Amino acid sequence: MENSKAIEALNDLSARTYDAEAGYKEAAENVKNPRLKSLCNEYAQQRYDFGHEIKDCVTKLGGTPQKGGTIEGKAHQIWMDVKTAFSSNDDATVLKEINRGEETTIKAYDEALENIEIGTPTYDKIVAQRNQVRSIFNRTQNLESIFENA
């Protein structure tokens, strides 16, 4: 498999992780529930770490890591919806928007994996990250249900 496609896919994914990091930071500042605030901060740090891991993968493939947000700004638009949700000051609404973002993130991971050679350390790293994102998505879906019914 050609490295240039993998590098491009990883750079886009890296930018998306930083967009998600910013979204989680914004969420942490605006949710009321202390436990939820703590989770958002934890997930923001995780996405920061993911971004650096992805940049390391890009470097190992011979590429130059991209800095900043997404090339097309798709993830930014999704996380802007999170900001809009904050105006309601409703933790369930914020969780709903986080979940929309996470669905898109999982799709981005799947698309990136299509461009990375299976069985490589890079592929394994991205699969592991995607699986963690899925786990968080499952958790935040459950939390959304709890907060909606509170």
Encode pLDDT of 38-49 as tens digits.
999 999 999 999
- Residue 79 — very low, low, confident or very high, per pLDDT cuts 50/70/90? low
- C-beta separation of 9 from 122 below 8 A: no
- Residue 72 — very low, low, confident or very high, per pLDDT cuts 50/70/90? very low
Per-residue pLDDT averaged across 55-59, rounded?
Answer: 96
Per-residue pLDDT averaged across 89-112, rounded?
Answer: 88
Domain carrying residue 103: 3-148
- C-beta separation of 123 from 99 below 8 A: no
Q: Select the more confidently predicted residue: 64 or 1.
A: 64
Tell me how many domains the chain contains.
1
Question: Which of 14, 108, 112 shows the shortest CA–CA distance to 67?
Answer: 14
Per-residue pLDDT averaged across 88-93, rounded?
Answer: 77
- Residue 114 — very low, low, confident or very high, per pLDDT cuts 50/70/90? very high
* CATH value at residue 34: 1.20.1260.10
Per-residue pLDDT averaged across 82-92, rounded?
Answer: 67
Q: Select the more confidently predicted residue: 19 or 119.
A: 119
- pLDDT over 50 (residue 73): no
- pLDDT over 90 (residue 1): no
**pLDDT of res. 75:** 54
**DSSP per-residue letters across the chain:** --HHHHHHHHHHHHHHHHHHHHHHHHHHHH---HHHHHHHHHHHHHHHHHHHHHHHHHHHTT-----SS-SS-HHHHHHHHHHHHHTTT-HHHHHHHHHHHHHHHHHHHHHHHTTS-TTSHHHHHHHHHHHHHHHHHHHHHHHHHHHHT-
Query: Packing angle between helix 91-113 and helix 121-148, nearest 10 degrees?
Result: 160
